């Protein structure tokens, strides 16, 4: 990771490349453009999500399988903040995850708002995502047909973290095993994530 160029405009160019990469991730993933989607990842890239945690290749394979089954997950982006330190960066991107599925016999949309917290590095002139860790801040469930109300198992719903409990409920009902310790708006998980991000910018190994 020593190939960064320090010169006029280099930081601005790095920021542009990172912003393009973050936007390409969403468009190519949701469109099922898997070959181009592979290019946004670092060779050691990993993805953490409620429904799967593993390498970028594993995430792509599971996403392809879900896409083929008609699993409907979409992403929308907002503001982007980037902290640069040579060939390393941390980015935070406001985002919304939207997933549609049938829950307790009723078609619903779950909308979860949060941030993508990304660890990035630059190799041979190209930025890539080393680790993507979403932060789940709040969510809700809406019936697609007005007036149709799913009867939820409230004990199951309450067993998931507040920031993504409706998303976790839906994903559990369609057969996924959901990770229950994802970072939210506050709490020890997100505090630890911020510490890992600071260590990454200092040049320390990724400990997540």
Question: What are 56's two structure tokens?
Answer: 């970028």
What would the pLDDT profile of 11-41 be if each residue is shown by its tens digit?
999 999 999 999 999 999 999 999 999 999 9
186 — phi, psi (to 5°)?
-135, 170
Q: Report which of 144, 146, 139, 48 is spatially closest to residue 97, judged by C-alpha positions.
A: 139
How big is the CA angle at 179 (ends 151 and 184), to the nearest 5 degrees? 85
Question: What are 9's two structure tokens?
Answer: 């405009």
Domains and CATH numbers, the chain: 10-201 (3.10.450.50)
Higher pLDDT, 7 or 79: 79
What percent of the chain has a predicted confidence (pLDDT) above 90? 94
41, 58 Cβ separation under 8 angstroms: no
CA count, 13 A, side-chain hemisphere, 40: 25
pTM, two decimals, is: 0.93
CA–CA dist 161, 106 (Å, integer): 23
Confidence at residue 9, expressed as pLDDT on a 0 to 100 scale? 57
pLDDT band of 208, cuts 50, 70, 90 = confident
Q: Report which of 129, 133, 137 is spatially closest to residue 194, judged by C-alpha positions.
A: 133
Confidence at residue 5, expressed as pLDDT on a 0 to 100 scale? 42
């Amino acid at each position: 990771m020593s190939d960064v160029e320090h010169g006029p405009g280099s930081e601005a160019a790095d920021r542009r490349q990172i912003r393009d990469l973050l936007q390409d991730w969403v468009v190519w993933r949701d469109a099922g453009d898997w070959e181009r989607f592979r290019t946004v990842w670092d060779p050691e890239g990993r993805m953490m999500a409620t429904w799967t945690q593993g390498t970028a290749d594993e995430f792509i394979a599971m996403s392809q399988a879900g896409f083929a089954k008609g699993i409907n997950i979409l992403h929308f982006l907002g503001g982007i903040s980037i902290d640069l330190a040579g060939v390393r960066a941390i980015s935070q991107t406001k985002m919304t995850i939207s997933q549609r599925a049938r829950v307790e016999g009723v078609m619903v949309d779950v909308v979860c708002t949060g941030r993508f917290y990304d660890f990035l590095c630059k190799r041979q002139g190209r930025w890539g995502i080393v680790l993507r860790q979403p932060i789940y801040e709040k969510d809700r469930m809406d019936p697609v047909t007005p007036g149709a109300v799913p009867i939820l198992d409230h004990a199951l719903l309450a067993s998931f973290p507040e920031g993504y409990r409706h998303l976790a409920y839906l994903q559990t009902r369609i057969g996924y095993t959901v990770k229950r310790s994802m970072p939210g708006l506050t709490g020890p998980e997100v505090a630890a994530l911020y510490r890992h991000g600071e260590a990454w910018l200092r040049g320390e190994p990724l400990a997540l």
